[in-house]
Amino acid sequence: MNASRKLDNRLALCARFVRHGARLADIGTDHAYLPVWLCQNGVCPGAVAADINPEPLSRGQQTVEEAGMTDKISLRLSNGLSQIKPDEADDIVIAGMGGELIAKIIDDCAFARDGQKHFILQPMTKSEELLRFLCAEGFTVLEQDCCVAAKKCYTVLLVRYTGLTQVTDELFYYTGRLDPSQPLHRRFLSEHAARLRKKARSDERWGQLAERIEKIMEN
C-alpha cells in the first residue's frame, strides 16, 4: 500500500470523523487500510489495529509492513476492545459489522463510558438496533452522515458517552441525526422505509413506521 492509496467512500467517511492527533483503535480492522491511511496522512500519531480472527489480522499486518508503518501501528488479536487498554486509544472505529455486534462490543468494553472517548461507528445492517442501544445506555450521537460505496448507501455515526439516557420515539432509531434535505441522508431514510414496507406485508405496524419516515421526507 503506498501513500497515495485512496480509501473508499465508506472508510473515508469514518476517517473524516477521527480527531486530528487522536490515538486510534480500529476494531475489526481486517486489511488495516483505515489505520494505515490515518497514520500516513498525519491524522493519527499511532494506532492499534485489532481483529478477532488471525487471518484478517495477518492481512492487516501485511498492509502495515508494506506501508512501512510498523513503528506506528500495532496489530492485535482481540475480541472487541477486550485487549485494548483505556490509555491506548482516544478514538475508536468499529466499521463493517452489524449494528447489534457493534452494540455488544461497546457494551462489553469497560472504558466505553468515558466521555473523552469518541466512537466512530459504521453499521452494515440494523443501524436502528445500534441507535436503540446507544440511546438507552447514555451515548449521544454528535454527528451522523451517509455515503455511497460500491453502489450501496451507508451511514456513519460519531458518538460519545454523556450519561444522558434517552427513551425516545421509535422513529428516532431509524432517523437518528439524518437530515432529509441532504440527498444521501434521504436515500438512507428511503431504504429504511422500503425495508419496513416489506415487513409490513406480514405485520401492518411496520407500515405505520414506514409512513412516518416517508412523511419526514416530504417536508
Ligand X SMILES: C[S@@+](CC[C@H](N)C(=O)[O-])C[C@H]1O[C@@H](n2cnc3c(N)ncnc32)[C@H](O)[C@@H]1O
Candidate residues 27, 48, 73, 135; the one interacting with ligand X per rule CB under 6 A? 27
Q: Is 35 in the site for ligand X (CB under 6 A)?
A: no
At 183, list the grid cell. Answer: 440527498
> For residues 52 and 24, is the Cβ–Cβ distance under 8 A?
no
Instruction: Output 11 or 22, the one with its CB closest to ligand X.
Output: 11
1 near ligand X, judged by CB under 6 A: no
The Cα–Cα gap between 173 and 130 comes to: 8
Q: What is the smallest separation between the CB atom of 168 and ligand X, expressed in angstroms?
A: 27
CB 59 within 8 A of CB 30: yes
State the helix-helix crossing angle for 127-137 and 99-107, rounded to 10 degrees: 30
Selected from 15, 44, 80, 159, the binder of ligand X by CB under 6 A is 80
Choose the binding region for ligand X from 25-33, 40-48, 134-142, 205-213 (rule: CB under 6 A).
Answer: 25-33
- Taking residues 38 to 77 in sequence order and writing x for each that binds ligand X by CB under 6 A, - otherwise, the string is ------------xxxx--x---------------------
Contact track, ligand X, 130-149, x by CB under 6 A = --------------------
Give the neighbor-by-neighbor strand order of the sheet with 24-27. 73-77, 47-51, 24-27, 91-97, 118-123, 152-161, 139-149
Burial 61-87 (b: 16+ CB within 10 A, else e): bebbeebebeebbebbebebbeebeee
CB nearer to ligand X: give 53 or 162: 53
Task: Check residue 96 for interaction with ligand X (CB under 6 A).
Answer: yes
Beta strands in 30-109 (DSSP E): 47-51, 73-77, 91-97
The x, y and z cell numbers of residue 155, run together, are: 451511514
Q: How far is the CB of 25 from ligand X (least distance, A)?
A: 10
**Total residues at the site for ligand X (CB under 6 A)?**
17
Q: Does 99 sit near ligand X (CB under 6 A)?
A: no
Least Å from the CB of residue 14 to ligand X: 7
- Alpha carbon separation from 93 to 16, 42, 46, 127, 159 (Å, rounded): 11, 17, 14, 15, 10
Interface ranges with ligand X (CB under 6 A):
11, 27-30, 50-53, 56, 79-80, 95-97, 101, 105
